[in-house]
Chains A and B, each alone.
Chain A
């Protein structure tokens, strides 16, 4: 049960087709993340789109790789993540859902 290399999330994401919109469908009120004790978005996001930038000391995110589950929006304890489905016709395109 051990010793096998598991697939990193980037390689998983390479299998997903996404039509990227130039307007972001996620906005984050970053000042609210500063004193957030748990930052669950870093763990919950199934595509690891949220990262904590130690140098800048702020949350960085990448809306292009969103799988549209919206878990980040439910879990955010500070109500900082504004998330909606992308514009019609844009976003993830599952072929084998």
Chain B
């Protein structure tokens, strides 16, 4: 009977980060991956921001397998017959890069290898089928006919998390909280990319594109970024919208590619690979369901990712690091029960990660409600979302500190209080939010009036 201290399921950014950090602490760790090599199952839909990676591996730039260094960032707003774009060049990123474009097949393999170099045992081509339980305590995993035992199991196994489901932490899925994405990698010669995107060799461009009123979908988003000799193009839409409107997302992608703005950029490009992925909206799992006896969830499995803000990889990575911190404490105390692993929430709070996730979820709600007045506002909103990331390292808690504190309290804080204290305090906090809600309601009504006056449909 094999027994280790920790089994991490899934060698994506969250799993590899967790395993790497655990190995650094000298904790015996096994990393399981269902692909034959890490990264071959994974699809990324945006560029790779590296603040968190730098925190974990300061010298990562030495051998990071990347395609281009991102210097040009665009926010684009498309409607059937027009396009508005806001382009910015961040030349300080030429020498001190913050973001890279990369293929996950190479990046994830590199990251897992880093963990292996630290002493992690990586086993690829192994899919976890079930968990082994002793009462409520999870004590290991079942891979095919084999059993592997551990003090604690970390579920970093993606959207359809086996660990999450078998441990009972994930029970439901709501289509309205899922984004479906399809992506195409399109061959385009390097010099053509340089010319069309107006960038130098080795310098890349990322574009976040919001599309309105195209082909029956009120709103959907897209991303476009440049690799060395290809362009990655992805479109996203909420699952329930697609269902309601009876729209095939890959048809939508074709429609999107025919928009003059997009067509100009990708003209003549040949399809290299077609991909699809499902993303959880921020906060799929309630914070109190991120941990149980002998189990922690991180990354997409726990829904700790900020889909709409394009920060999926960094947020997943950070949650993996925090899971490792939690386990580090648990190992010291030799206690792997739910009570001990509850520290996970404290660590997540220390990074404002949950607030970020919650924010992402709100943004996605915002974009889903297509009833807005004019164009520029949407551009501003887009700029705001994406600027929030580098405003501060630990995700912009100062600017919105009060409302964030309120949200934090409602989402997490209140569960730490005894009932007698909780009820009156929660009622008070909720009351303090009421005026904002009222203002929102009045605004909504005014918008409706405005549309009636203009003779246009008011959206939903």
Chain A, 30-58, CB within 8 A of any chain B CB: 38, 40, 43-44, 46-48
User: Does the CB pair B250–A68 fall under 8 Å?
Assistant: no
Q: Taking the nearest CB of chain B, how far is it from the CB of A86, in angstroms?
A: 8
Interface SS majority for chain A: loop
Known interface pairs A69-B276, A69-B277, A70-B160; A94-B43 also in contact (CB < 8 Å): yes
User: Does the CB pair B243–A75 fall under 8 Å?
Assistant: yes
Chain B, 116-145, CB within 8 A of any chain A CB: 124-127, 143-144
Q: Taking the nearest CB of chain B, how far is it from the CB of A42, in angstroms?
A: 9
Interface SS majority for chain B: mixed
User: Does the CB pair A95–B180 fall under 8 Å?
Assistant: no
Indicate the member of A40, A43, A97 with the most B CB atoms within 10 Å. Answer: A97
Interface residues of A (CB under 8 A from B): 1-2, 4, 6-7, 9, 11-13, 15-16, 38, 40, 43-44, 46-48, 67-71, 73-75, 83-89, 91-97
B278, CB-defined interface residue at 8 Å: yes
The 9 closest A-B pairs by CB, nearest first: A6-B254, A89-B125, A97-B104, A46-B276, A88-B127, A12-B274, A67-B276, A69-B276, A97-B43
User: Does the CB pair B239–A44 fall under 8 Å?
Assistant: yes
Q: Taking the nearest CB of chain B, how far is it from the CB of A74, in angstroms?
A: 5
User: Does the CB pair A93–B36 fall under 8 Å?
Assistant: yes
Q: Which residues of B contact A71 (CB under 8 A)?
A: 178, 180, 239, 276, 278
B182, CB-defined interface residue at 8 Å: yes
User: Does the CB pair A94–B273 fall under 8 Å?
Assistant: yes
User: Does the CB pair A93–B40 fall under 8 Å?
Assistant: yes
User: Does the CB pair A44–B180 fall under 8 Å?
Assistant: yes
User: Does the CB pair A44–B80 fall under 8 Å?
Assistant: no
Q: Taking the nearest CB of chain A, how far is it from the CB of B439, in angstroms?
A: 35
Q: Which residues of A contact B258 (CB under 8 A)?
A: 1-2, 4, 6
B429, CB-defined interface residue at 8 Å: no
Q: For A83, give the chain B residue with the smallest CB separation.
A: B160
Ordered by A's residue number, 20 sampled pairs between the chains whose C-beta atoms are within 8 Å are: A1-B260, A7-B271, A12-B271, A16-B273, A43-B246, A46-B182, A67-B275, A68-B41, A70-B278, A71-B239, A74-B173, A74-B239, A75-B239, A88-B124, A89-B36, A92-B40, A94-B41, A94-B273, A95-B40, A95-B103
B251, CB-defined interface residue at 8 Å: yes
A97–B192 alpha-carbon span in the complex (Å): 22
User: Does the CB pair A15–B271 fall under 8 Å?
Assistant: yes
The contact of A87 among B39, B41, B127, by CB within 8 Å, is B127
A67–B254 alpha-carbon span in the complex (Å): 18
